[in-house]
Structure 1
Amino acid sequence: MELYTNLRAGEKGAWLSIGTYLILSAIKLIIGYFGASDALMADGLNNTTDIIASIAVLIGLRISQRPPDENHQYGHLRAETIASLIASFIMMVVGLQVLLDSGFNLMNPSRETPSPLTAYVALGSAVVMYFVYRYNLKLAKKIGSSAVRAAAYDNRSDALVSTGTAIGIFGAIFGFVIIDTITALIVGIIIIKTGVEIFWEAVQTLTDAFDIEEAETLSVLIRNVDGVIDLNDFKGRTHGNMTFIDVTVTVNPNLNVWESHRITEKIESTIKRFNPYCMVLVHIEPHVIPKAIEEDYHF
């Protein structure tokens, strides 16, 4: 199935992120420690959480490829969401630790000026992460993966964080030493914010929340299908990269089974043109005119 082929292809983006974050986090933590930069060390810790998040995406993509079984008749596509939920808790804990360390450093400021090397490391990291972002974004568009797209946006935020880190370090080098610690504080807030956003998205998915705008768009498309008189019910939920839609429509009660079936096929093809990774279940009911209206009509 094309979906599972795309999930395997998405692993390339996860592996690229893991490898890049491993190298960059090690460099930042070492150079930040010896170069006396709280901001660069905070950025390095940020990258360690990104390693965990990328591993979660990788594990989720692996488990999601398992076919449906007796206990998982819809497949294992939500494994990725559960992994993201776990990663979000880890990210928030690390972000809180960065905030505590930064707060301590603000109360006990260091007189040591960061090394210029730390600023150049931060700038170099920003450039590297930008190219990783471009690669993962292109891959996400190619395979239609929301997980890889989320990873790409995380890469982009890391590039911005590293850019901000470099600016903070340069400020400290030019005499404003406290800027380095303030930048570390901001990085900690960004880590927590990212963790909360991932947590909220995962909770929304696991509780079967569905985007209102997408539901309205799909409802309009269904109502415009030739042969559909009315849309009585619409339900949607997501499982990983897949979307499951259940709809109840009314049609002319005089249609035979074959003609009604053709309408269901039209609805399915219409929705799949909008979202290729969508499973559609259509329930057909005869359209009944309310009795009061019917009596008025005959009158």
Structure 2
Amino acid sequence: MKGIASFELPEELKKVLKEAIRLEWITIFYLLSVIVVMFLTMGSSQAMKTAWLEDLLSLIPSISFLIATRINKKPPDEKFRYGYHRVYSIAFLVGASALLGMGLFMIYDSSMSLIKLEHPSIGNKTFFGKQVWMGWVMILALVYSSIPAMILGFKKLPKAKKLHNKILYTDAEAQKADYMTAFAAMAGIIGIGAGLWWADSAAALFIALSVVKDGFKYISTAVKDLMDRYPVTLKKQKKDPLIDEIEDLVLGLDWVEDAKIRFRENGQVYVGEVAIIPKGKLIIENLEKVNVMLLNYHWKINDVSIIPVKELPSW
């Protein structure tokens, strides 16, 4: 039974983390192959170029997760007394910033193609003595860039929820929705084939706007976490019900007159304080028991201070 802050995941979650790490390594090697295939087939298509850039960006969450996980394993030291949990929040912010920056560049690049009235063309190439329209080759490359990614995204999603890990979760959500990028790029390619020169740049612009939207959303979440917002659920970004459970737990103790709690996210775990107005004479052992009880209540509760007060604070 732990009575001080724990800096390790429960055994069952260690297995989940190990599997998540394995999936991220698979993702990196897969994306590297996609980047090569897309580069070799994109030709003059703006939509293919934008999809290729998005695949390049997709490496950032996987690499960030692996680096952050390695750093997060380090125990607290003289410099970082609270441990290295917040490295996940920092990595999340860096990844979101890169996503937004590249998305804005992609919007500029796609818009300029429309403004300049550029007319991309997709030619034919000879394969085994037969003429093949390169648009079909591009579409095959897009299928390869999306379907395996979707499968990886669906596999990562439940692991991200169990670990309460935002980098892993956003990576999984983005890969799960990769088919949208592929369909947009395919529409652009088919548009070129049908003589609609603007369809390619329009498809690229759609992809770029999607990237920018995600970049803004993720930066907003990352900044709020670093500003010590109360803990929220991954999907709906609403207050984690675990916080209210803890408050009810403390208020239900027979020696507690009143109590107030506050927690913040520290990477994938929570740290916080519990202010208690005791009934009658304060017994130190009771404070120690509350500390042990809360640290054992849920793995997310990583560090908690129990503060006896005469009057509840305003937080």
Coarse TM-score class (shorter-chain normalised) = 0.7 to 0.9
**1:231 Cα deviation from its structure 2 partner:** 4.6
Higher helix proportion? 1
What is aligned with 1:240? 267
Segments of 5+ residues of structure 2 without an aligned counterpart are 1-7, 123-134, 233-237
> For residues 77 and 220 of structure 1, what CA distance do their matches in structure 2 show?
23
Amino acid at match of 1:46: E
What is aligned with 1:90? 98
Which SS does the other structure have where 2:177 is aligned?
helix
Q: Is the contact made by 1:37 and 1:118 (CA closer than 8 Å) also made in structure 2?
A: no
1:11 aligns with 2:21: yes
2:160 pairs, out of 140, 148, 155, with 140
Structure 1 residues 221 and 283, CA gap change in structure 2 (3 angstroms): closer
Segments of 5+ residues of structure 1 without an aligned counterpart are 289-299
Overall identity of the aligned pairs, in % = 19
What is aligned with 1:193? 213
> For residues 67 and 83 of structure 2, what CA distance do their matches in structure 1 show?
15
Q: Is the contact made by 2:290 and 2:306 (CA closer than 8 Å) also made in structure 1?
A: no
Q: How many residue pairs are counted as aligned between the two chains?
A: 282
Which SS does the other structure have where 1:59 is aligned?
helix
1:223 pairs, out of 245, 248, 266, with 248
Structure 1 residues 136 and 153, CA gap change in structure 2 (3 angstroms): same
What is aligned with 1:2? 9
Q: Within 5 Å, which residues of 2 pair with 1:32-111?
A: 32-33=42-43, 36-111=44-119
TM-score, normalised via structure 2 length: 0.78
Amino acid at match of 1:222: E
Structure 1 residues 105 and 52, CA gap change in structure 2 (3 angstroms): same
Question: Which shows bigger deviation, 164-173 or 147-156?
Answer: 164-173
**CA-to-aligned-CA distance 1:205-243 (integer Å, 9 cap, x gap):** 222122475366523542343326455432212222111
**1:68 Cα deviation from its structure 2 partner:** 0.9
Cα RMSD after superposing both structures:
2.8
What is aligned with 1:283? 306
What is aligned with 1:208? 228
Which SS does the other structure have where 2:82 is aligned?
coil
TM-score, normalised via structure 1 length: 0.81
1:182 aligns with 2:202: yes
Runs of 4+ in 1 over 6 A off after TM superposition: none
Higher relative contact order (CA 8 A, sep 6+): 2
**1:106 Cα deviation from its structure 2 partner:** 0.5
